Amino acid sequence: MTPHICSIVPPYLLRGIAESDACEQKHKECALRSLHQRNSYTTKRCNRFAHLALPRAARAAAGHQPQQHQSIVPEILLKHIAEAEDVDEETKARAKRDSERIHAATQAYQKQLTGEGQADAEEQSLEADSKKKPKPDGFYRAVYDAQHTEDETELPGKVLRVEGQKPNADQAANEAFDNVGKVLDFYLQKFQWKSIDNKYMHVLSSVHFGQDYENAFWDPERMQMVFGDGHDFLYKFTACIDVIGHELTHAVTEHTSPLEYEGQPGALNEHISDVFGIMVKQLVEDETADKADWLIGEGCLLPDVKGVALRNMKEPGTAYDDPRFGKDPQPATMAGYKRTSEDNGGVHLYSGIPNRAFYLASVAFGGYSWEKAGQIWWKAMNSGRVPPRCTFVQFADVTTEVAEELFGDDAAKIVRDAWNEVGVKRKN
């Protein structure tokens, strides 16, 4: 099995370009570069979700510190904000305050590591002082220029725009900055979830990654968004809010119910990202479930491509049919489900099955998708009842149970009927 990192463009689409006789050689080479770059990140996501699936004691025994690098980047970010001339004064003051708090906490931690001053008056004073400091009351965003590097160690890159600054001349930077903010506002407004980790984690993005890189992804090691500029087939990743919602949700999933990234749990991992990506898109466009198009990555296909999006949650398998891409291979029901070693057991391929179930439930409930169906899926992911190796049937059971708890028997029947229609049903 090949490990995998999530990127919005599925590997089977890139492989279709690379192997198509209808594509020019330069297009094949571009797709191959994107595939190779994707594969260079693959181990990280699998390892990360496998680690998160371990019991807490086992994680501690492994000595894994998944976010240790984050103590460096936010300090640099806060420094950028505090020292920038064109950042508004309120944001600058908040950044300076938070920088001082991080510095104090770091000093205390270093003392503990070296064994200095254990339980002495100075440390007690520092601890008391840290308790007086205000907790984070908002997130900081920053967008950097990757300057076309494909070397992860060079990320995030050169700073382009930070919290409190006005738009600049770089359109991709402004789109990434604004759309990240809209996604995080969506989580806060509709689910009372603060940033990615529910603790106002800062969110970094790097634009202009790679040469003609036709993809966007969440880097689980750098803990940031990464956007390519696109090329001859796929582009405008920073402009598609559902793409950003999808990728940021992978990070949110790490803090709710981490689903192992292969087979059915991996497909559910992808499905959850599509669900919250499509909901934020529908919020921005003010569309009810019955009026929405349910297309993921609608704006990513260049005009001459025969297709409408990367995925169609309403009708999986109909998003595109182009001689250079091939036909969208997603099945809409379990009748098309077959075990495969490709794509980590079909994590992108089979996410269409639960995607359609969510669409059916949302339309049956009526109104906006986040009012009932979204609340059910969100509570399910925060219920503690979704195991790391969750199957489609198990997830159907949990969402049905949660529907009954939140909205009663009729809601439970709507959710169960949606899963039954896509063939996810118990044998008895």
Mean pLDDT of 356-366: 98
pLDDT at 22 over 80: no
In a domain, 82, yes or no: yes
**Does residue 224 lie within any of the structural domains?**
no
pLDDT of 43 over the 70 cut: no
Active site residue 247: yes
Rounded CA-CA distance 326/189 in Å is: 39
Residue 140: is its pLDDT beyond 90? yes
SS3 218: strand
Concatenated DSSP letters of 84-107? -TTS-HHHHHHHHHHHHHHHHHHH
Nearest by Cα to 101 from 68, 139, 134: 134
What confidence tier does 110 reach under pLDDT thresholds 50, 70, 90?
A: low
Classify residue 343 as left (phi > 0), alpha (psi -120 to 50) or beta.
left
**266 and 41 Cβ atoms separated by less than 8 Å:** no
Q: How far apart are CA 246 and CA 217, in angstroms?
A: 9
Please compute the mean of the pLDDT values over residues 274-284 and round it to a whole number: 98
Q: What is the pLDDT of residue 123?
A: 47
Residue 410 pLDDT > 70: yes
Domain count, the chain: 1
DSSP class of residue 422 equals T
The predicted model scores a pTM of 0.82
Determine the distance from the C-alpha atom of residue 325 to the mean position of all C-alpha atoms in its chain, rounded to a whole number. 24
Sheet-wide strand order for 203-209: 158-162, 141-145, 203-209, 224-228, 216-219
Note whether residue 174 is domain-resident: no
| pLDDT band at residue 30 under the 50/70/90 scheme | low
Question: Of 175, 214, 247, 401, which one is the catalytic site residue?
Answer: 247
The dihedral formed by the CA atoms of 43, 382, 73 and 209, expressed in degrees to the nearest 10:
50
Q: Does 208 qualify as catalytic in the annotation?
A: no
- From the list 4, 298, 348, 401, the catalytic residue is 348
Residue 325 included in any domain: no
CA–CA distance, 294 with 309 (Å, rounded to integer): 10
Is residue 187 in some structural domain?
no
pLDDT value at 7 more than 80: no
pLDDT at 71 over 50: no
The pLDDT, as a whole number, for residue 247 is 92
- The verdict on residue 27 lying in a domain is no
Angstrom distances, CA of residue 396 to CA of 10, 108, 420, 421: 24, 46, 9, 12
Is residue 357 within 8 A of residue 418, CB to CB? The reply is yes
pLDDT of residue 306: 87
Q: What percent of the chain has pLDDT over 70?
A: 78
1, pLDDT greater than 80: no
pLDDT of residue 136: 72
Check: CB of residue 300 under 8 Å from CB of residue 235: yes
The residue segments making up the domain with residue 115 are: 68-132
Burial of 409: CB neighbours in 10 Å, binned 0-12, 13-18, 19+ = exposed
Q: Please, which pLDDT band fits residue 168 given cuts at 50, 70 and 90?
A: very high
Task: Flag whether 74 is in a domain.
Answer: yes
User: What's the pLDDT at 215?
Assistant: 84
Residue 284 lies in a domain: no
- 171 confidence band (pLDDT: 50, 70, 90): very high
